[in-house]
Structure 1
Amino acid sequence: MPPSTPPPTPQGLPDLFLSYLPGLSVGAILGFCAGYAIKKIGRMTALIVGLLFLALQIMAWQGLLTVHWPRIQALAEPWLHQGGEQLSSWGLRILQTNLPFGGGFVAALLVGLRAR
């Protein structure tokens, strides 16, 4: 029995992948860096917000100030809602603008967010 040979591949297929490789690789590198930076900045922001909340609660407990949390929530909700809409439209524009770059960017962004 003769050894099996792999199925023939179309001649232009490797060239097709090679043409997308620079965009994918640059997108992946930048996506990883952005994800890693977002993760670090997010942790620092969470630390600062947490310390600020603790300081407010300690001052409220000591009777130095009164915090009206429902009023703060009412003021913050429009900002959070608008920020979420802008972030989703920004992400959608990245994916629609340059598919190989955007695909590599988003995939590596998620990897960067998971990196230690």
Structure 2
Amino acid sequence: MSLSVSELVWPYLPSLSVGAILGFCAGFAVKRIGRMTVLLVGLLFLALQILAWQGLLTVNWGRVQALAEPWVQRGGREFGAWVLGIVQTNLPFGGGFVAAFLVGLRAR
């Protein structure tokens, strides 16, 4: 008795489709929020530089880096663990989620 491809895929289709839909939405949202965050950080940096150029403000960039570095490192580790947890927990859902998340990041 041989099974067709559709019979093999059918039980996993709900998990794959829900994971793909949620992954695309998450990727698209991360992209939009990321763009807004980059814009705001850039404008803040520009404002600080203008104030420093005018002599109104002195910024200790070494201290800023020392404060921001642990947050950036922790965020990278936690995001990686989050994605790995999704993929390991429920492979069809996680596979669809991660693939569609990447597509959502690339969507216009």
Instruction: Give the TM-score normalised by structure 1.
Output: 0.88
Unaligned runs of 5+ in 1: 1-8
Identical positions, percent: 70
Task: Output one character per residue of 1:53-110: Cα deviation in whole Å (capped at 9) or x when no partner.
Answer: 0000000000111001011101111111111111111111011010000000000000
SS in 2 for 1:63: coil
Which residue is equivalent to 2:22? 30
Which residue is equivalent to 1:112? 104
Which residue is equivalent to 2:9? 17
Higher Cα Rg, which structure: 1
Counterpart residue type for residue 21 of structure 2? I
Unaligned runs of 5+ in 2: none
Q: Trace 1:55-70 onto structure 2 (pairs within 5 A).
A: 55-70=47-62
Aligned length: 108
- Measured on the aligned residues, the alpha-carbon RMSD in Å equals 1.3
Which residue is equivalent to 1:45? 37
Question: How far did 1:12 drift?
Answer: 6.2
In 2: Cα distance, 1:13 partner to 1:72 partner = 56
> Where is the helix percentage greater, Structure 1 or Structure 2?
2
Match of 1:76 among 61, 65, 68: 68
Structure 1 stretches of 4+ moved >4 Å: none
Pairing 1:103–2:101 present = no
Which residue is equivalent to 1:4? none
In 2: Cα distance, 1:58 partner to 1:88 partner = 37
Pairing 1:91–2:83 present = yes
